[in-house]
């Protein structure tokens, strides 16, 4: 199983929207996909139609209570896509983890000890909008990192902080962690600032930035309120087409030996 953390410590950058729709796109082309919701807000779970009353066991139980992965997963309406939902219990997990031995590797240990992980080709982890212990657990458990980056003035400043954290994780927690790419989100071609930010990001990061960009799109915003990904809500909208293109690029960047297996 290839594990991809989707992280950015800045909120409102399209992180959860990306997690929902890239997971759906990968499942649609035949990859057995798991989405692990690690954000206490639980928006990825809601966006896939998993209501709060359905979340008997969650990512909290997986990390804190040593629950079995198969007991925490829920099937979604998307064939080939399962989700480990999040609950409000995760809000206190940061404090609880401080006292736990191996606190930065609880998620990695949970995934490694579960043979059920082998059922999936790829796992996406929707991280909270912070660089706390939950996000560190995700980075320690992941093969690579996907970074959604909103096309706005302060984008590069936040990205710099995240890249510094990744460097520290590589040195101390997970030397194998890579960065599969940066995806530009909320792209509005009518806004000259958007073009300028995109140009600056590409000048700074080069080929690390995906060619695909995620536009500002009403359908992307509407879909979660109906408990479904945009790719199901409106397969033909600009946002859905962008995530399908992103999935194609992502596959080309994943470790070849893992994809072939």
pLDDT digits (tens, 9 = 90+) for 12-45: 888 999 999 999 999 999 999 999 999 999 999 9
**CB contact burial 84-99 (16+ within 10 A = b; e otherwise):** bbbbebbeebbebbee
Please indicate whether residue 51 or residue 261 has the higher confidence score (pLDDT). 51
At 97-111, the pLDDT tens digits run 888 888 999 999 999
- pTM tops 0.85: yes
Q: Quick one: CA dihedral 141, 71, 80, 118, positive or negative?
A: positive
CATH of 2-260, one of 3.90.1150.10, 3.10.580.10, 3.40.50.300, 2.60.40.3080: 3.40.50.300
Residues 240, 237: Cα–Cα separation, whole Å: 5
Look over the chain and give the mean of its residue pLDDT values, rounded to a whole number.
89
Domains of the chain, residue spans: 2-260
Please determine, for residue 151, whether its predicted confidence score (pLDDT) is greater than 60. Answer: yes
* Close Cβ partners of 223 (under 8 Å, ≥ 6 residues apart): 47, 229, 230, 232, 233, 234
């Amino acid at each position: 199983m290839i594990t991809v953390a989707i992280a950015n410590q800045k909120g409102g950058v399209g992180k959860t929207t990306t997690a929902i729709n890239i997971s759906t796109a990968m499942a649609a082309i035949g990859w057995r996909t798991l989405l692990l919701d690690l954000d206490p807000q639980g928006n990825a779970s809601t966006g896939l139609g998993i209501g709060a009353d359905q979340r008997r066991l969650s990512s909290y139980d997986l990390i804190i209570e040593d629950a079995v992965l198969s007991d925490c997963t829920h099937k979604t309406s998307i064939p080939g896509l399962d989700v480990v939902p999040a609950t409000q219990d995760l809000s206190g997990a940061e404090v609880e983890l401080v006292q736990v031995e191996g606190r930065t590797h609880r998620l990695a240990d949970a995934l490694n000890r579960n043979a059920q992980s082998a059922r999936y080709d790829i796992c996406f982890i929707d991280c909270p909008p912070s660089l706390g212990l939950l996000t560190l657990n995700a980075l320690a458990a992941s093969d690579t990192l996907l970074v959604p980056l909103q096309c706005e003035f302060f984008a590069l400043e936040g990205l710099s902080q995240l890249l510094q954290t990744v460097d520290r994780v590589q040195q101390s927690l997970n030397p194998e962690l890579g960065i599969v790419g940066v995806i530009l989100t909320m792209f509005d071609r009518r806004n000259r600032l958007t073009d300028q930010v995109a140009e600056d990001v590409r000048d700074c990061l080069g080929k690390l930035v995906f060619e695909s960009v995620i536009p500002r799109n009403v359908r992307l915003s509407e879909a979660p309120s109906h408990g479904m990904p945009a790719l199901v809500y409106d397969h033909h909208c600009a946002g859905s087409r962008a995530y399908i293109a992103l999935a194609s690029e992502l596959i080309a960047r994943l470790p070849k030996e893992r994809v072939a297996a």
